[in-house]
Chain A
């Protein structure tokens, strides 16, 4: 399967939709059960972050190829207030909401590639990739 899927996040029901879509694409890409669960969990965290901190956003799901390996790429974008201190935001247990403060830092550990682009007033874009083994 190729092509891009997109989910617009406006409510927690959309977060569920993202999880289900990521799960089905992960299976098609050939990720192991553990890796499926990891990328689904990361997608859930990132989508919920966009919802909670930016009031919504959008998730793009892509199948990528790197030589002989296939992978799943997620691009989560929002137009929220942005993150002033990226290093602090990636610290375990640090949160401006009332969660556990592990969503962003935990997601980084759950995936193979992690890219965070943000600044005050610029919104936030998180790009993550999980490769099939």
Chain B
């Protein structure tokens, strides 16, 4: 750094130090942020300048925290960046009214670059934080959307809703097979009423799940085949072979009751009695 630029820089640093209160007040107004938050940032900035080695680790850490908390609160990334850039505006105004304008102007370039860097850094952390939120939500959705419910003693059902991609099918299959082991159930119903379209990939996933369940000694029924889905599957040319499919979950349950030898009847006083055969 040339001697001239160095003095200009020191001039700005001097400006920052002597007008701390005024700058923070004005900055808080422009950035629409609390002055406590900003004065913490401001002090970190001054401290990093003090060391004179452009060691921005502390202020970056603070900015990352600010950026992350704003991402969670739903602020736009430009708002967060603008909060940082606001400081530039304040310092420029101050430098303009400075007696030694020419000298300060040289330092402004340096200062502007510093603030740009910090602003971009908040943008980066903001994006990272957002990305992480999205990833977490996707994972939560994966967990949420695949319950295995017990329908009856020895009968479990998986109501599928939404899009079936490879990752979700994997989760569904694992959960279903594990439940078959845990509960000792011998019958499973996969209900696809909530799946908007069955293409060859979805069909293949379903077929594999049924075959896997069979390998474990369980019988599997696919239910919730609506007319338009049936039409599409036939036209596509997908064959479900000897896999039992039913239009509704009720049909599938009735079928499974028959296969399991469970009788459900209506008693005289509108009372349901169940009897399982000892097979």
State how many residues of chain B have any CB contact under 8 Å with chain A: 20
Which 4 A-B residue pairs are closest in the complex by CB-CB distance? A106-B236, A37-B228, A44-B199, A34-B228
Helix, strand, loop or mixed for chain A's interface? helix
Pair B229/A37 contact, Cβ less than 8 Å: yes
Q: Is B201 among interface residues, defined by CB-CB distance under 8 A?
A: yes
In the docked arrangement, what's the CA distance between A12 and B196, Å?
A: 16
**How many A-B contacts at CB < 8 Å in the complex?**
67
- Our pick among B165, B227, B228, B237 for the contact of A102 (Cβ within 8 Å) is B237
Pair B204/A92 contact, Cβ less than 8 Å: no
Pair A100/B228 contact, Cβ less than 8 Å: no
Q: Is A99 among interface residues, defined by CB-CB distance under 8 A?
A: yes
Residues from 162 to 183 in B contacting A, C-beta threshold 8 Å: 163, 165-166
Q: Which residue of B lies closest to A103 (CB)?
A: B200
Pair B196/A110 contact, Cβ less than 8 Å: no
Residues of A close to B227: CB separation below 8 A? 33-34
Q: Could you pull out 12 A-B pairs where Cβ atoms are within 8 angstroms?
A: A23-B196, A33-B227, A34-B228, A37-B232, A38-B228, A40-B196, A44-B197, A99-B200, A102-B238, A103-B199, A106-B236, A109-B236
Residues of B that sit less than 8 Å from A by CB: 163, 165-166, 196-201, 203-204, 227-229, 231-232, 235-238
In the docked arrangement, what's the CA distance between A40 and B228, Å?
A: 11
What is the CB-to-nearest-CB distance from B48 to chain A, in angstroms, rounded to a whole number?
40
Pair B231/A45 contact, Cβ less than 8 Å: no
Pair B197/A19 contact, Cβ less than 8 Å: yes
Residues of A that sit less than 8 Å from B by CB: 12, 16, 19, 23, 33-34, 36-38, 40-41, 44-45, 48, 92, 99-100, 102-103, 105-107, 109-110
Helix, strand, loop or mixed for chain B's interface? helix
- Asked whether A36 and B228 contact (CB < 8 A) given A41-B236, A106-B236, the answer is yes
Pair B231/A109 contact, Cβ less than 8 Å: no
Residues of A close to B204: CB separation below 8 A? 99-100
What is the CB-to-nearest-CB distance from A39 to chain B, in angstroms, rounded to a whole number?
10
In the docked arrangement, what's the CA distance between A12 and B237, Å?
A: 23
Residues of B close to A109: CB separation below 8 A? 235-237
Residues of A close to B232: CB separation below 8 A? 34, 37-38, 41, 110
What is the CB-to-nearest-CB distance from A15 to chain B, in angstroms, rounded to a whole number?
8
Pair A105/B165 contact, Cβ less than 8 Å: no
Residues of A close to B235: CB separation below 8 A? 38, 106, 109-110
Pair A33/B228 contact, Cβ less than 8 Å: yes
What is the CB-to-nearest-CB distance from B53 to chain A, in angstroms, rounded to a whole number?
42
